C-alpha cells in the first residue's frame, strides 16, 4: 500500500529521518549508483503505526540522485602519550543524495527493490590488511578454548591507549589482530568499528590510528 503524503521515520547510517514522497535528503554513503532505486527497510514509524522497534513490511523507496561530499568537518586531535600539542585534521564525509519516491506501509518485503546498504564501511586497505588475519584466527583453536587468546603473529593490542583485555577481545573477535590493520583505518572504518564494537568515540579520542602507525613501525 503506497501513500504519497504519508510520513515515515526511517533509520540509516545510525540516524533517523522523517520523510515523505518527494523529499530530497542526504544520508551516509550507500552502495548504489545515480539513477538506481533503493529501499530502506528499517522503518520506525509509518503513518500512525509505530514500530516495535520497526514496522514489519514497511519500507521507504528512494532514487539515488548523486554521490556527494558533505561540508568539511574540522576536529582537534590531542596526543595523550607523546607531547601535549594539539593538531587539527579535517575530512569531508561521503554522502548519498536521494529523492524519496514511495512510502510503503505494507508489502515492502515483496517489492523486489534492492535494499539500501551502506558503502565504504570498511575501506579496501583495511579489508586487504584484515583478510590474511581472519583465516588463521578461525583455524587456531576451537571456540571454547579461544577465550581472549590472540592468534599466532598477532600484535599486543593492549599497547594502545585505553585497550584492556575486554576491548582487545572485541578487536580480535572482529578480525583485528595487528597494529598495521588499525593504522590502515580511514574515517569510514573508524565510524564502522566505533558503532559495530560500541567504542563510543574511543578510537579517535584515544588516537588509536596514530598510535598504531608508530607501533607498527617499531
Task: Identify the pLDDT of residue 195.
Answer: 84
- State the average pLDDT for the chain: 80
Task: Identify the pLDDT of residue 166.
Answer: 85
Query: 99 - beta bridge partners?
Result: 24, 63
With pLDDT > 70 as the criterion, what percentage of the chain qualifies?
Answer: 75
> Contact 75/89 with Cβ under 8 angstroms?
yes
Rounded to the nearest 5°, which phi and psi values hold at 167? Answer: -70, -35
Task: Identify the pLDDT of residue 143.
Answer: 52
More confident residue, 136 or 204: 204
Q: What is the pLDDT of residues 85-114, one digit of tens each?
A: 566 667 788 999 999 999 999 999 898 999
Task: Identify the pLDDT of residue 192.
Answer: 85
- When pLDDT is averaged across residues 203-209 and rounded to a whole number, the result is 85
CA pair distance 104, 39, nearest whole angstrom: 10
Tell whether omega for the bond before 171 is within 30 degrees of 0, i.e. cis: no
Task: Identify the pLDDT of residue 85.
Answer: 57
The residue written with cell numbers 533503493 in the block is 38
Rounded to the nearest 5°, which phi and psi values hold at 43? Answer: -105, 120
Q: Point out the least confidently predicted range of 17-21, 37-41, 83-87, 140-144.
A: 140-144
Tell me the three cell numbers of residue 186. Answer: 580511514
Whether pLDDT at 217 is above 50:
yes
68 C-beta neighbours (distance < 10 Å), count = 13
Closest-CA residue to 164 (of 148, 180, 151, 152):
148
3-state DSSP assignment of residue 120: coil
Q: What is the pLDDT of residues 135-185, one digit of tens each?
A: 455 555 555 444 445 566 688 888 888 788 888 888 888 888 888 888 888
Query: What's the angle, vertex CA 178, arms to CA 167 and CA 121, rounded to 5?
Result: 75
72 C-beta neighbours (distance < 10 Å), count = 9
Amino acid at each position: 500500500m503506497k501513500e504519497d503524503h504519508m510520513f515515515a521515520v526511517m533509520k540509516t547510517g545510525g540516524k533517523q529521518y522523517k520523510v515523505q514522497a518527494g523529499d530530497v535528503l542526504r544520508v551516509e554513503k550507500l552502495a548504489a549508483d545515480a539513477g538506481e532505486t533503493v529501499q530502506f527497510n528499517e522503518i520506525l514509524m509509518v503513518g500512525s503505526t509505530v514500530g516495535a522497534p520497526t514496522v514489519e513490511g514497511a519500507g521507504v523507496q528512494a532514487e539515488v540522485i548523486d554521490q556527494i561530499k558533505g561540508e568539511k568537518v574540522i576536529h582537534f586531535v590531542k596526543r595523550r602519550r607523546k607531547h601535549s600539542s594539539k593538531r587539527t585534521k579535517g575530512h569531508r564525509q561521503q554522502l548519498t543524495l536521494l529523492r524519496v519516491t514511495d512510502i510503503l506501509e505494507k508489502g515492502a518485503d515483496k517489492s523486489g527493490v534492492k535494499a539500501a546498504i551502506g558503502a565504504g564501511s570498511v575501506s579496501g586497505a583495511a579489508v586487504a590488511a584484515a583478510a590474511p588475519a581472519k583465516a588463521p584466527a578461525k583455524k587456531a583453536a576451537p571456540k571454547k578454548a579461544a577465550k581472549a587468546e590472540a592468534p599466532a603473529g598477532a600484535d599486543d593490542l593492549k599497547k594502545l591507549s585505553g585497550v584492556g583485555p575486554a576491548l582487545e577481545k572485541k578487536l580480535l573477535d572482529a578480525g583485528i589482530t595487528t597494529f598495521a590493520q588499525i593504522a590502515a583505518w580511514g574515517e569510514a572504518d573508524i565510524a564502522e568499528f566505533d558503532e559495530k564494537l560500541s567504542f563510543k568515540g574511543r578510537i579517535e579520542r584515544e588516537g588509536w590510528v596514530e598510535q598504531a602507525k608508530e607501533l607498527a613501525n617499531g
